[in-house]
A and B are shown apart, each in its own frame.
Chain A
């Protein structure tokens, strides 16, 4: 045998092991997710969440909403956050050095006045210019911080410093919450007795084309544009199957930055958000978990399968590309910062399963997919592999992907069934078939670019120009 043969065999073996492990993981995820869902639904069938909405003994919560140039929607968003079903809250809006009139609008709309306020700077942040409260008692739950721009992580850290309550809920200012979102997000903190719940996260859904009035979701529609529609499917797969299963194994590594709750004390002890990374939401969870492991404290990070929060997904290839590029860099940075955990049994499931899974199947997947595909094509062209074998392999992988997608849609239909029209479900299935051709290659490419950008040490966030909800 000559050396190219060896290389080929070696690669083939690698790809084989990789794909088989991946398939096994996916099956494990399906099984775990189903059993976790079943338990959740059985429990909710007789649970009344409203008790903590009004109980004076309910835990106190600070909602942190960072805002950067959001003047278009800020008044509406604050109003809908103030109306959320939960009594023991304070709402902290952090104006992160906006260049527009966000602050002036808030001051005018809510009769804000500047108040002296001692901020115990437990986490170092950019300077605060002023803290405002409303002179109208109806808005006594509102606090507005005006600060020098320092990015999202820095803004959230300022919020954590100012917050006085036991739990913090971080939310993107442009998110639309379900009425009972807070109740469902906070409940898990109260349920565990032998473990400390350090953070919870909920399902994010895509709001494009949905009917939104006064900052509230009135009617759910499948997005009309193709890209957001693809992302609906992607989110269903990621949340209904992926995160649910990881939550069951207590190996969840990420809580979406758009809507998540944290135990303030642990977040502080772990050091707050890291402004040095573009993936601050993932990094904080990993660091909090690491803190708990290193101090031998039993803990849990539960995940709530109910749709709690609706957000606008990028509708153009350009913005989607930037978003995925940033996600990839965030993942690489987080995994790099915590590389100590890689296959480290001291960190339990986290070290043995979660970290390696993220490393091999989230971070490396696009690279392996990209290079594997390229190599196979080259081999086929050079005659090492028969073309028909190549096609068979391709079909095999493709159909497994389809099966996984269709299965995710099935789970969605059996559980929340957000898209009521049958034609919408049909459209979703068709989208699943189109995905590998029009959507997937682009996402893989953006991830590969993210890797390259990471190596070049680029640190920009990528402006996320928003369309704004049509408030019709």
Chain B
């Protein structure tokens, strides 16, 4: 055993010696250290050159932005085409426009500011800005090499197209709503809805990628500025294989109170995905009928904890005394959260509810003493 260990150790020793003498030598160590030192000096130098340049560019950019903003500002508050032409033919601005023609940097900046202005303003300001954009023929510049650009640049351009209402590009953007790149796809979806309102939602028909919660929120925000809701193919979306599309369709029904789709939503209550069921519970409560409460109770046992709690909460709003037997039975649940929600539901449905509860439980015992005083305090 010892000899074995000895043999092993000595072979390790040999190999280390080999490493020491041939690879890990002082020379090599020294050389690598020198390389590190050189890299440190190099990076430090780069940092300072970079900082100097950045400051210079920032200064230049500030001056430029100030003059561009002055220009756009005067355009924005003009009240007639004559006035607009007058502003443009001002000598200072003529110089600026000349530079815009020659420098990519200037052009990019002007397009940025114009699209931001068009996004943040309405009325004559927006019309004036769009007039200028057209007059300077910037659309061609904006779309130059669009297909060759990297995804993040493309996404930005898609945004600007929608801010500037360049509606001739709708088809191109629509084809990007199913793009492989997530960010680009998301911006295209938003842009299409911004430009065409509820019609833009047609991309949901064949989008194969999931639509994240974040994206759903954005789409809903975007839709809120379009007044006339349209149902579109909502029935198809509810049957989509893409669960996020189903979820989104349920949300639309909820927000715009689409009572016509009650039956389709009811079917979703037994959807194989529990998250869809959960959403459907909330959706159906916003378009409820007399029978909805009992329908939810019929599904109650098949659901998980959080969906059950959701049903109890929903019953506060849509429940009637007909659901009292069910709710009173929940009072025996071992989890206090269920108890509290059941009590809340019963007492919200009817003032007389509290007496019924007190008949079933001992109000001096924990947790009932706290639950009841909490309920009374809120009321």
Contacts and interface: CB of A to CB of B under 8 A. Distances in A.
Nearest to A405: B40
Given A46-B152, A193-B244, A55 B47 contact: no
A425 interface: yes
Given A52-B217, A190-B217, A389-B26, A120 B12 contact: no
A407 interface: yes
A453 B336 CA distance: 42
A1 B336 contact: no
Contact of B152 (A9, A42, A58, A191): A42
A134 to B, nearest CB: 14
A403 B217 contact: no
B51 interface: yes
Interface stretch (B62-70, B138-146, B199-207, B367-375): B367-375
Contacts of B30: 392
Nearest to A389: B26
A5 B43 CA distance: 41
Interface in A57-105: 57-59
Nearest to A113: B377
A51 B340 contact: no
A51 B187 contact: no
Given A51-B218, A265-B306, A413 B335 contact: no
27 contacts: A6-B10, A10-B12, A13-B16, A16-B24, A43-B183, A45-B156, A46-B152, A46-B156, A51-B221, A55-B217, A57-B216, A59-B213, A115-B377, A116-B374, A191-B212, A193-B212, A194-B210, A388-B26, A392-B26, A392-B30, A393-B29, A396-B36, A406-B43, A409-B47, A413-B47, A425-B48, A426-B48
Interface string A1-22: 1000110011011001000000
A190 B151 CA distance: 21
* Interface secondary structure of B, over-half rule: helix
Contacts of A388: 26
Contacts of A265: 306
B335 A120 contact: yes
B37 interface: yes
Of the candidates A120, A189, A265, A409, the one having the most CB atoms from chain B within 10 angstroms of its own CB is A120
A402 B212 contact: no
A16 B19 contact: yes
A407 B26 contact: no
Interface string B6-25: 10011011011101100010
A400 interface: yes
A108 interface: no
Contacts of A414: 50
Of the candidates B151, B244, B374, the one having the most CB atoms from chain A within 10 angstroms of its own CB is B374
A399 interface: yes
Contact of A9 (B9, B151, B216): B9
Contact of A117 (B9, B211, B374): B374
A402 B36 contact: yes
Given A9-B12, A55-B221, A190-B213, A116 B377 contact: yes
B16 A392 contact: no
A46 B47 contact: no
Given A117-B374, A407-B43, A46 B159 contact: yes
Given A120-B340, A392-B33, 17 more contacts: A1-B9, A1-B10, A1-B13, A6-B10, A6-B13, A9-B17, A42-B152, A46-B155, A46-B187, A52-B217, A55-B217, A57-B251, A115-B377, A399-B36, A403-B40, A410-B43, A422-B51
* Interface secondary structure of A, over-half rule: helix
Interface residues of A, number: 52
A395 interface: yes
Interface in A278-300: none
A126 interface: no
Of the candidates B6, B33, B212, the one having the most CB atoms from chain A within 10 angstroms of its own CB is B33
Interface of A: 1, 5-6, 9-10, 12-13, 16, 42-43, 45-46, 51-52, 55, 57-59, 115-118, 120-121, 187, 189-194, 265, 388-389, 392-393, 395-396, 399-400, 402-403, 406-407, 409-410, 413-414, 422, 425-426, 429
Contacts of A1: 9-10, 13
Contacts of A55: 217, 220-221
B329 to A, nearest CB: 19
A265 B50 CA distance: 47
A116 B15 CA distance: 74
A414 B306 CA distance: 45
A127 B16 CA distance: 62
Interface string B208-230: 00111110111011000000000
A47 to B, nearest CB: 9
B210 A193 contact: yes
B367 A6 contact: no
Nearest to A45: B152
B50 A57 contact: no
Contacts of B36: 396, 399-400, 402-403
Interface in B33-50: 33, 36-37, 39-40, 43-44, 46-48, 50
A314 to B, nearest CB: 28
Contacts of B37: 399
B47 A425 contact: yes
Contacts of B48: 422, 425-426
A120 B47 contact: no
Contacts of B212: 190-193
